[in-house]
Amino acid sequence: MTPAQLRAFVAIVRTGTVKQAAAELELTEQAVSMHVAALRKSLGDQLFTRTHSGLAFTPGGLRLAARAVEILGLQDQTVSEVGAAAGGRRTIRLASSSLFAEHAASGLIDLFTKRANDLEVELSVQSPDQFASLLASRAVDVAIGPVPRDGQLADSGHLHNAKEFLSFDLEVLAAPTHPFAQRRASPEELARATWNLGPSAAGAHDAIPAMITQLGVPDDRQRIFQSDAAAWEETRRGTGLTLAPTFAVRSELQAGHLTRVSGPNNHRRNTWCAMTLAHDPTRTASELMRFIGTPKAVQAMLRGSGVPVKNFRPAVYVTLWN
């Protein structure tokens, strides 16, 4: 088996046809078919057959699909690590939920990278639903976000190490001039209110969308901003309600720019969790998994690492993946 053959097969699995796989790989259909024919001969398995409803994969073909993604991911990881080692650097790739990335990642990453001069971090904002597949394909080394739902990691077919490390409160907030700042709001009033929310509200299976669902807020009452900070700024003007982790808006509450809204279901306890592959994680990933639950790490996530803003130069590269 060659990487080219595996990439051709994975593209067919992903797109469903040889024609679309060829277009994705910028190859001819004949070239893709030749790669598949070589795989079939090498493995002694048809891998898939064509039917009126599309491609039907053999049990061996399905097993190869899962293994091929992992093999190609290991190849890409190895190339990246060799290149980094040649430059005297180590790189750890993190996937993070939007909520964690905006409010806690910078403190954690800054403190963690200070432990070694040769360490760099690549952070990508991802949907928690993609964590298992990203870890399985070795696209990332560690994923950080909400505690996975029952069976969410097991469904990927790989064993994972999951570590809960930080609990936080999510609350409903408003400007002091908002009517709900003066009195208790009913569930019906909360559902009819205008809500200013950050990008994590547009996802699924994260803290803010879960609370919005619990409050019964329909989509047409939600305004999604490019960040939680932008949503809070709009809320400070007195237009609408917002949701925020309590630790992230402590100064806003103390200054009286925002205030808590009383009412049913207006408070929710959440926990963040770090995940990596249980077998063969990178050395740096194992270091981060041990470090992330320490008191210093938790302090850095909640309040920052104490570095003056003018000196804040973490070795972090942020990439936004679709």
CA distance 321 to 141: 15
Q: Which string of b and e fits 273-297 if b means at least 16 CB within 10 Å?
A: bbbbbeeebbebbebbbebbeeeeb
Q: Left, alpha or beta for 44 (phi > 0: left; psi -120 to 50: alpha)?
A: left
CA distance 162 to 231: 31
Instruction: Give the per-residue SS3 of 80-136.
Output: HHHHHHHCCCEEEEEEECHHHHHHCHHHHHHHHHCCCCCEEEEEEECCHHHHHHHHH
- 247: tokens are 């630790």
| pTM of the shown model | 0.69
Nearest to 114 by CA among 249, 291, 261: 291
Return the pLDDT at 305: 44
Give the residue range(s) of CATH 3.40.190.290 domains in the chain.
Answer: 89-322
Return the pLDDT at 309: 35
Nearest to 172 by CA among 192, 199, 195, 201: 195
Return the pLDDT at 170: 95
CA distance 234 to 241: 9
3-state secondary structure of 183: coil
Right CATH for 3-74 from 3.40.50.300, 1.20.1260.10, 1.10.10.10, 3.50.50.60: 1.10.10.10
- CATH fold label, 89-322: D-Maltodextrin-Binding Protein; domain 2 (3.40.190)
Give the residue range(s) of CATH 1.10.10.10 domains in the chain.
Answer: 3-74
Nearest to 107 by CA among 319, 256, 294: 294
pLDDT (tens, 9 = 90+) of the chain, 322 residues, equals: 888 888 888 888 888 888 888 998 888 989 989 998 998 988 898 888 776 656 777 778 877 877 787 677 667 666 666 665 555 567 889 999 999 999 999 999 999 988 877 788 889 888 898 898 888 888 899 999 999 876 555 544 455 789 999 999 999 999 999 999 989 999 999 999 999 998 888 877 889 999 999 999 998 899 988 889 989 999 999 889 999 999 999 999 999 999 999 988 899 999 999 999 887 678 889 999 999 999 999 999 998 644 333 333 334 444 333 3
CA distance 82 to 75: 11
Q: Which residues, in sequence order, are bridge partners of residue 170?
A: 245, 268
Question: What is the DSSP annotation of 36-74?
Answer: HHHHHHHHT---EEEETTEEEE-HHHHHHHHHHHHHHHH
